[in-house]
């Protein structure tokens, strides 16, 4: 019996020792060996070798570059561009989102938008502006003279005009500059339309593709619906961008306010006040986790409003490059807020540099709450999980033939590392690339 007890203690000690040795693996493996392992994983990958692959792994605490390949080469970043927009907004905007500029002159109230995307947005449904204007006794006059931008960004694809991810930019967006089409139940073959004002601009057309169901005319707000395709599509929802205009904005405002709103062209504020709406973090979280292109673009306009008193995305970008990014390792070729444009070009090490600055500027807990988490939320909900807690917090980016992932890895040993993986010129499945990036991230998690 005594021998059995001794043997049991011995086996227990062995088991504890094995766990300890396993947990210390990251500490035992030399830096040289870790680099070699990473080199083998990358160089022997049949997936990465099929296209142009760039990668950098960086320790923000020691300032060590742990591994890099093609880190100084330019890539099409797609939605990882939003990290640059995020950094800009963090440095320019305050805690609350400016929503309306206004000035009172006698019995008149003149107002203008700031680019705030939250008003009647399908997700935020904020009504700060409407409540304010509804309660005013003055006559209401609207001006859009501070909007000095184009509704589309440089290099956007014209034939994406009907897709939810490419709404127009504007000075006072309402309903996120989209029309929502919703099927209420299986018994009705009709669609609820939000805002209801645009129902009169909708018509049936059974020649519309079954895949599309609803399609807007290219040059006017006429929405054609193939209602014959609704049976069997319970819970059907679709968002279609509108063509923005001052006339439409005034019509929507008057319907919501129940009173007249007139337009004043070329008005210059002298002593305006600013009305604020939702917390800025609410915008950041939505646009980063869900990769919302519309909010990203409006953030650049909001930043321009704060800097210059006018809305101009390109002016914001140039200011940020000159004042906040003038010491970057590689100059950013940056033209929009969302990454919809193929004109954008960034290097992996520039991505890492921006991520490092973001990391230094806020508590880790807050930062990670704003980003998609591997296996848990947003665009990473179905990827890079498998552990008790998420270990990848990153921004995705995808355009046809391009896929990127840039962010942070929280390793098993407790370290926070910054990485940038950029893949261009894919001819095969993006699923293979995601799977291969997942192997690399899991190796980093377990090794470092």
Closest CA to 123 of 339, 285, 233: 285
Helix (H, G, I), strand (E, B) or coil at 78: helix
The number of residues in the chain equals 448
Q: How far is CA 100 from the centre of its chain?
A: 23
Q: Which domain holds residue 354?
A: 28-77+345-447
pLDDT digit string, tens, across residues 56-84: 999 999 999 999 999 999 999 999 999 99
How is residue 16 written in tokens?
């504890």
Q: How much is the pLDDT for 35?
A: 85
Residue 433 inside a domain? The answer is yes
Residue 432 inside a domain? The answer is yes
Q: How much is the pLDDT for 58?
A: 97
Instruction: Please state whether 150 falls in left (phi above 0), alpha (psi between -120 and 50) or beta.
Output: beta
How is residue 94 written in tokens?
């305050």
- Cβ neighbours, 10 Å, residue 156: 21
**Which ranges of 120-187 does DSSP label H, i.e. alpha helix?**
128-135
How is residue 390 written in tokens?
């998420």
Residue 216, preceding peptide bond in cis (omega within 30° of 0): no
Residues 6+ apart with CB under 8 A from 423: 48, 51, 52, 53, 54, 75, 402, 403, 404, 433, 437
Residue 215 inside a domain? The answer is yes
Instruction: Work out the mean pLDDT of the chain and round it to a whole number.
Output: 92
Cα angle for residues 276, 279, 280 (degrees, 5° grid): 100
Handedness of CA 243, 124, 276, 135 (dihedral sign): positive
Count how many Cα atoms sit within 13 Å of the Cα of residue 106 in the half-sphere of its side chain. Answer: 2
Tally helices (H) and strands (E) across the chain: 12, 16
Q: Which among 182, 212, 243 is the end of a domain? A: 243
Residue 63 inside a domain? The answer is yes
Structural domain count, the chain: 2
Residue 323 inside a domain? The answer is no
Q: How much is the pLDDT for 321?
A: 98
Q: How much is the pLDDT for 18?
A: 44
Q: What is the spatial order of strands in the sheet that 202-204 belongs to? A: 202-204, 223-225, 214-216
Q: Which among 225, 243, 261 is the end of a domain? A: 243
Q: How much is the pLDDT for 33?
A: 85
Q: How much is the pLDDT for 230?
A: 81
317 touches 341 (CB < 8 A): no
Residue segments in the chain with a per-residue pLDDT below the cut of 50: 1, 4, 6-7, 10-26
Q: Which among 205, 227, 243 is the end of a domain? A: 243
Q: How far is CA 112 from CA 100, 126, 133, 145, in A?
A: 6, 17, 12, 8
Helix (H, G, I), strand (E, B) or coil at 77: coil
- Report helix angle 313-323 to 293-308, nearest 10: 70
- Cβ neighbours, 10 Å, residue 233: 13
State the DSSP code for 381: T
Domain with residue 36: its CATH number is 3.40.710.10
Q: How much is the pLDDT for 19?
A: 41
Distance (Å, whole) CA 150 – CA 425: 29
Q: How far is CA 137 from CA 109, 133, 298, in A?
A: 9, 9, 30
């Amino acid at each position: 019996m005594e021998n059995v007890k001794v043997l049991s203690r011995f086996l227990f000690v062995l088991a504890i020792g094995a766990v300890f040795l396993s947990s210390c693996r990251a500490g035992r493996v030399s830096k040289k060996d870790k680099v070699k392992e990473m080199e083998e994983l990358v160089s022997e990958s049949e997936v990465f070798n099929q296209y142009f692959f760039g990668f950098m792994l960086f320790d923000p605490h020691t300032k060590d570059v742990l591994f890099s390949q093609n880190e100084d080469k330019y890539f099409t970043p797609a939605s990882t561009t939003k990290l640059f927009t995020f950094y800009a907004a963090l440095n320019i905007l305050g805690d609350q989102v400016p929503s309306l500029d206004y000035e009172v002159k006698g019995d008149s109230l003149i107002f203008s938008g700031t680019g705030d995307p939250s008003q009647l947005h399908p997700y935020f449904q904020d009504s700060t502006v409407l409540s304010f204007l509804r309660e005013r006794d003055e006559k209401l006059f609207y001006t859009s003279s501070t909007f000095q931008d184009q509704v589309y960004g440089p290099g956007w694809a014209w034939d994406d005009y009907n897709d939810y991810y490419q709404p127009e930019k504007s000075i006072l967006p309402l309903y996120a500059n989209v029309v929502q089409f919703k099927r209420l139940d299986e018994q009705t073959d009709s669609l609820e339309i939000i805002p209801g004002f645009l129902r009169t601009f909708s018509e049936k057309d059974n020649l519309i593709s079954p895949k599309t169901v609803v399609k807007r005319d290219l040059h006017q707000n006429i929405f054609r619906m193939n209602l014959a395709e609704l049976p069997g599509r319970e819970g059907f929802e679709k968002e279609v961008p509108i063509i923005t205009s001052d006339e439409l904005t005034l019509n929507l405002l008057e319907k919501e306010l129940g009173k007249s709103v007139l337009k004043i062209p070329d008005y210059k504020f002298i002593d305006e006040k600013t009305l604020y709406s939702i917390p800025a973090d609410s915008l950041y979280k939505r646009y980063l986790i869900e990769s919302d292109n519309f909010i990203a673009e409006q953030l650049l306009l909001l930043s321009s409003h704060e800097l210059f008193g006018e809305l101009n995305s390109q002016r914001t970008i140039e200011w940020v490059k000159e004042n906040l990014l003038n010491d970057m390792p590689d100059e950013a070729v940056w033209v929009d807020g969302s990454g919809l444009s193929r004109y954008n070009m960034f290097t992996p090490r520039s991505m890492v540099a921006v991520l490092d600055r973001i990391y230094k500027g806020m508590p880790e807990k807050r930062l990670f709450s704003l980003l998609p988490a591997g296996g848990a939320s947003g665009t990473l909900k179905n990827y890079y999980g498998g552990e008790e807690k998420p270990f990848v917090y990153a921004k995705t980016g995808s355009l046809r033939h391009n896929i990127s992932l840039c962010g942070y890895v929280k390793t098993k040993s407790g370290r926070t590392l910054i990485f940038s993986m950029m893949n261009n010129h894919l001819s095969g499945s993006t699923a293979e690339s995601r799977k291969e990036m997942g192997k690399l991230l899991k190796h980093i998690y377990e090794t470092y």
